[in-house]
Each structure stands twice: as structure tokens, then as C-alpha cells.
Amino acid sequence: MSRATANPKPVKFLLVDPPHRIWDILKAWVPSPGCLQLAAFLEDEFNLDFMDCTLNRRPWHDLEAKLRADRPDVVGISIGCTYFTYDGYNAAALVKDVLPDAVVVVGGAHPTLNAEECLAECPEIDFICMGEGELTMREFLRTVADGNPDFSRVKGLCYRGPDGRPVFTGKRELIEDLDTLPMPAYHLVDMEHPYIGLPSEGDRAFLVNFARGCGFRCKFCSESVFWERRWRGRSPELIGEELELLKKKYNRDTFYVGDNIFNFTRERGIGFIEEMKRRRLGQHFWLQSRADLVVRDEDLMPGFKEAGVYQFMIGVEYTKQETLDELNKQVSMETVERAMQILKRHGFMIMATLMIGHWDETKEDRERLFDFCTRYVNHFGLNVVTPLPGTEFYKEMKALGRIKDFDYRKFDYIQAVMPTREIDDLDKITELHLGMIRRFYWRPIELWRMFFSPNPILRHHHKYFMKYGFEVMMHEVFGRPLWTQDNYQTFESFLRERGRPIRGGFRGYEPDETVEL
């Protein structure tokens, strides 16, 4: 008899990605690859449903309605990044208000790396799924189904013990072979929803993930810590199967591949090239890599081009070697520049991820960074230095007293939460960041590329960002309204409309509604 039929009690499990505010510059949303993968792994054994609330017409109201109608036994809540922490807390509060006996489990990088804080801040959270979710959640739900109240044997959990202190049940080993996982559960979302896509890359663009983790040790990266500084990838054959499904069933032809490092091994790069050439799907790919691995795989670049790769994203971060060394990037600027030259020579678009707002940063440092990018970069991925909780960088910055704002809604890589030695005003750093982006895209050469580049994706990309920049300018100068997410609502506003408070005067975990995002 299968384990699924042996369960004495069918567990109703609702997996929730809470309502989120979409970034204005993106004007779009992509369902969480982690949620879709977890749902696919669990749906054959349990009575599972998935709700991506950001796609709902009235997200908080619809979530409440689903809780009342379906009455799930267990609700899993995704907190995909630090920026979404309060959304997850608010969802947990709503679940417990509607279904006091339901079990609330949260997962994701932020709660995993900050489990004690999450349990202390949000009493509505019963359990935290630490790290990779598939095996832990399967065993957890089986334990619930068996009516066994002892979760201490389920590795990979954190919860409050009888004395209120956090109990960690022990480390859950990672899944060694990602090919053992099923295809992500794309059928559980409306793939034709008008919000789903990546409009900067094309009309049918989408996000996919084919690997987990990274083998490097950059101090600022939460992904590296979350995945235990290991890299695991799916085979090229299964990558090809998933891409063929997305092409034939959902007509998706352009992809941002979210793997932290796509070509972590040469064998994977070679296999991907061969698979794409064999299948001839006519798809286009934006891959992430590192400068040293681009240099290592220089001979594979023509193959990547033939396979449909149009852009590489490289974590340049900064152009001052001393700062790169402090961040433990383990790469030299000489290698970065050589990688840029290789990618340019083979006709790839280049996106550089960059950070400003370092403690010892000067105006001259920012100018050197800007000048370097004008020579090589097509997509100026400039961020503000953000100390993500749970990383070595966060611990260092907190110990030094440099983090001045702990409102997680500002941990979005756009708003500064730390000063520099020269600039104490956080708003000024945020303004410098936005000013550098405008300055980059409004250069005459970028205007020329918008109309005359032989690369159609580059033309589309530049038109998209130029249009956004023009909209921002018209807003700032003439007060013309910007694009707004027509279904977004703060939790506090939802509670006012609802007309029923949660535990007295509770207004939600967002500190207030005044933060300008």
C-alpha cells in the first residue's frame, strides 16, 4: 500500500504566497519557483492548493474568503525575501484569526536565517521550515496526518518549546539529486494572468529556476548561506523538458534563468548547449554567471549564443578591489574586465549587478564604477548596499552600528538603510542611486541603441526602461500619476474595510502606511 493511501487522515494543506506590492519598475509578477516546486512535490500525497495572492483581484479579502471556505488544517506561508517579511507576518495573523486551530508554517530564506527573531516577533507562527522545504514538509504533513503531536523527530523545523524558547529539531540533509523532483506545478496558477511575465524582456518572458545554491562565499549573499554554500543543478535533459513544456503549453519564449550561477560546471554548460540545439525551441535566455567562470568557459560562448542565450548577468558589485576583497568576492577586477571583453566580443548583452553606499565610498569611487559600466554594460543593475539579516555582512554592519533603519520594507536594494562615511543622510544615498540610473540610460548612445541597435531584445529593453524613466520625469516635473498596481492594498487598509479587528486594536505588522516605496 502506498504511503498516500495509508494516511489515516487526509491533510488539507494550503500553500500561500501572501499579497505583495509589485515594484513599479517591473510592473509585473512571476509566481515563486520555490512554491511551485514545493507544491508539485506534495500535491500527489496531500490535499493541496496553492494561492499566489498577488494575482488576486482583492488579495487580502480573497485570502480570507479561501480560508473560510476551504478550512485547511495546515497553512504554509512563503517569505521569499526580507522585503516581504511583514506580508508573511500579516498573512499568519489573518490565518489564526479566521482558523485559530490551523497550523501555520512559514518558510524561506529570511525565516530560516532569522528563526528566533521570527518566532519572537510573530506569535501566530507555529513552525518554521528551515531551509529546503520538500522533504521536511512531507514528513511534517505526514506527522500531522497521523495525529502525532510530537514534531521533535521531524528534522528541519524550528518552533517554540514548552518554555517558549525556540526548539531546533536538527539539520535536514539537502536533496542530492534535483532530478528526483517533479516538474514545477505551473498548472496551479493562471499562466495567462496579465501580471505574469517580465515585460522588460518581451511579451512572453518568464522566470525559471534550474539549480539551487552557490559554491562561493560572498559576505552579503543570503542565498549562499541559505543553501549551505553548495550548488546543485538539474540535468540538461530535464531543463529541456521543462522549457519545451513552457513553450508548447504556455507559449513562453524568453526566460530569465534565476540560477545563481548557471554554468557552475563546464559540463552543465556544454549539456545545455547541446540540449537546446537538439530541441530547436527558438527560445531566448538571460543567464547569471561569474566573471571567472565566463573566462573559464570562453570557448563555450559561441555555443551559448547558438543555444539562444542573449544576455549574461555578472555580479560586478564594485570596481574598487579593496571593497571586493572585503566582501569576499574572490575575483579580481582584471578578471571582471576580461569577462566583459569576452561577452562583448561574442555579441551578448551584459547586465552588471552593482552596489553603491559602501562605508568608505567617495564620489570618485562612484564615478569609476559608472565609467567602467559605460564601456561594457547594457543593463545597469545598480543597487544600494543592503545588509540582509542572517548574512556575515549583516552581522558585521550591526556590530559596527552602521544599520540605521531596521524597517524590512526598506530592505529592497533601492532605499538606503546605512550611511557612508561621507554621507549621513540615507535619503541622499537613495537619491544618488536613482540619479545614477537615470544618467546611465539617458546617455546619447543608449538613446541611439533604443532605435538602431541590431539586437531586437536590446531595443525592446531600452525602450521599456526609457519609457519608465520618462514616466518618472513627468511625475516629478508635472505631477503626472505613475503606474500603480491596481489590486494592491496594505493590510491595515484591508482591516479597516473588513470592519473586524484582529486581537483588539492590532493593525498589522507593517509599522505604518507612510513609508514611500
* 393 touches 64 (CB < 8 A): no
How much is the pLDDT for 505? 64
- Of the listed ranges 64-68, 130-134, 367-371, 465-469, the least confidently predicted one is 465-469
- Of 380, 360, 362, 361, nearest to 370 (Cα)? 380
The CATH fold of domain 12-168? Rossmann fold (3.40.50)
CATH entry 3.80.30.20 includes domain 191-382+426-478: yes
* 353 touches 388 (CB < 8 A): no
Q: What is the DSSP string of 348-412?
A: -EEEEEEEE--TT--HHHHHHHHHHHHHH-SEEEEEE----TTSHHHHHHHHTT------GGG-S
- pLDDT band of 5, cuts 50, 70, 90: very low
How much is the pLDDT for 511? 54
Q: Which whole number is the average pLDDT over 365-375? A: 97
Each residue's pLDDT tens digit, 324-347 = 999 999 999 999 999 999 999 999
Exposed / middle / buried, residue 506 (Cβ in 10 Å: 0-12, 13-18, 19+): middle
- Give the CA count within 13 Å in the CB-facing half-sphere of 15: 31
- Within 79-120, strands assigned E span 103-107
Task: Provide the percentage of residues in the chain whose pLDDT is more than 70.
Answer: 96
Structural domain boundaries in the chain: 12-168, 191-382+426-478
Whether the per-residue pLDDT at 516 is higher than 60: the answer is no
Each residue's pLDDT tens digit, 218-245 = 999 999 999 999 999 999 999 999 999 9
- Global confidence as pTM: 0.94
For residue 273, what are the CA distances in angstroms to 89, 263, 349? 43, 11, 18
Mean pLDDT of the chain: 94
Whether the per-residue pLDDT at 1 is higher than 70: the answer is no
Whether the per-residue pLDDT at 515 is higher than 70: the answer is no
B/e letters for 259-287, b = 16+ CB within 10 Å, e = fewer, are bbbbbbeeebbebbbebbeebebebbbbb
Whether the per-residue pLDDT at 482 is higher than 50: the answer is yes
Q: How many CB atoms lie within 10 A of CB 400?
A: 10
The CA distance from 174 to 473, in Å, is 48
Q: Which whole number is the average pLDDT over 432-441? A: 93
